[in-house]
Amino acid sequence: MKRFTTLMLGIVLMAQTSVAQSALDERLEIGRKLVKEVEDATVKVNDYWQSHNSPKCRAFWDNAAYFTANQRVYRRFPNKRYLDYAIEWAEYNHWQGATQTDKTKWEYKTYGEGMNHVLFADWQICFQVYIDLYKQEHRAERIQRALEVMCYQASTPEKDYWWWADALYMGLPIFSKLYTVTHDQKLLDKQYECFKWTDSLLFDTEEQLYYRDGKYVYPKVKTACNNGKSFWARGAGWVLAGLAQVLEDLPQDCKYRPFYIDRFKKLAEGVAKCQQPEGYWTRSMLCPDDAPGYETSGTAFFTFGILWGVNHLILPREQYQETIQKAYKYLFEVALQPDGSIGYVQPIGEKPDPTKTVNAKSQAPFGTGAWLLAAYEFCNYFADQSLAGRIAGKKK
């Protein structure tokens, strides 16, 4: 009788093991399909953009934001066309941003597209791409201007360089990225000093969100919803995405890392609370009525940041799984158009502006770049195939 019981127990355990293995195999297969789906879409979107837009365009933020994403796409798909496209853009701009050589004329305190605004972060974001291209091939001319400008900035006593939220994507990550090449500690010191200044100006500890700039800090601007606080999705999106890039390059033992992680976590929490049921974030984060409807750029930057945090074990998977699932549905079923273009991108601006048309044909380099950043991290996320299986199961 004892032998019979032992035999039956063994049979039951084998059956349970078989069922568990079958379920695991199914999850793995679903995970592989999801990775392939995202990879195919990523290539389609990047190919569409490059076939419809010349690389011979200025190195200002609007274009440069796309090129920061193209670099990540190239990491996963080392297609020489993607690399050549970026190099052609960099060479067209002579590996520079704003070109003024007289340091006494360098500006940053006001918005400016002129060549004197060398210290203005919107003209510096291109350095992120140049540094990446330098790592591909160590040619000094690729980072000569970046070194000149950023090391000069690091040597100045000023700390108010980033007076608007967008700058925390455009300028903030350059210092830690350049540090990976030079290992010059003053770059990290300056980065932290300037970030602390911006954080003290724009971070709302109650809502855990960043204002776009000082003009919008409550109560200077109020929403239509109970005269509440006004937070612009793309502005806060720049910050979350920028912090992810900083943490990616910052040394693990850097004394400033805990503060960046704290802000990254708090901002992610604040952002997740504002997501719409359909998976997107409205332009006015706490008051959809201010500028209702789909918007892709802010949504994609938020998704990239949250995915990056989960993929790098900074944000807990279970807490953000539903947020990610809903964002995936929006980005791949609404924002992504059949021809490979990315729609519903708010045009250039600085606030939730309901007068700006946002529809399926609303495209921009920074919007496509934001979508590609999110897609890159979705590939990594779904590569954790057991998790991919659980999420895919919920989609059915």
CB 123 within 8 A of CB 65: no
**In terms of pLDDT, which residue wins out, 394 or 331?**
331
Give per-residue pLDDT as tens, 133-148.
Answer: 999 999 999 999 999 9
pLDDT computed for residue 32 by the predictor? 86
The pLDDT score that the predictor gives to residue 21 is 63
Is it the case that residue 23 has pLDDT exceeding 80?
A: no
Percent of the chain whose predicted confidence (pLDDT) is above 90: 88
Of 122, 166, 213, 290, which is the active-site residue?
166
Q: Name residues whose C-beta falls within 8 Å of residue 176's C-beta, 6 or more positions apart in sequence.
A: 187, 188, 191, 245, 246, 249, 250
Q: What average pLDDT does the segment 344-369 reach?
A: 97
Give every CB contact of residue 267 below 8 A, 6+ residues apart in sequence.
208, 209, 210, 236, 239, 240, 243, 305
pLDDT at 202 over 60: yes
| Beta carbons within 10 angstroms of residue 22's beta carbon | 10
Question: 204 has which bridge partners?
Answer: 209
Is the confidence at residue 17, as pLDDT, over 60? no
The predicted-structure confidence for 277-315, as pLDDT tens digits, reads as follows: 999 999 999 999 999 999 999 999 999 999 999 999 999
At residue 308, the pLDDT reads 98
Query: Does residue 299 contact residue 331 with C-beta atoms inside 8 Å?
Result: yes
Amino acid at 39: E
Helix (H, G, I), strand (E, B) or coil at 189: helix
Mean pLDDT of 218-234: 96
- pLDDT surpassing 90 at residue 229: yes
The whole-number pLDDT of residue 208 equals 98
Q: Using CA atoms, how far apart are residues 81 and 54, in angstroms rounded to an integer?
A: 13
The mean pLDDT value of the chain amounts to 93
* From 11-20, 88-97, 207-216, 265-274, the region with the lowest mean pLDDT: 11-20
Residue, of 5 and 160, whose pLDDT is higher: 160
Element housing 209 (H / E): strand 209-210
Q: Tell the CATH topology of 37-395.
A: Glycosyltransferase (1.50.10)
Give the helix ranges, DSSP H, for 53-98: 61-76, 80-92
How far is residue 186 from each of residues 162, 250, 257, 332, measured CA to CA in Å? 17, 13, 15, 42
* Better pLDDT: 7 or 337: 337
Where does the pLDDT of residue 200 fall: very low under 50, low under 70, confident under 90, or very high at 90 and above? very high
Query: Is 290 annotated in the active site?
Result: no
Q: What predicted TM-score, i.e. pTM, was given to this entire model?
A: 0.92
Q: Where are the domains of the chain?
A: 37-395
Query: Tens digits of per-residue pLDDT, 56-104?
Result: 999 999 999 999 999 999 999 999 999 999 999 999 999 999 999 999 9
Tokens representing 78 are 């080392």
For CA atoms 47, 49, 52, 54, the dihedral sign is: negative
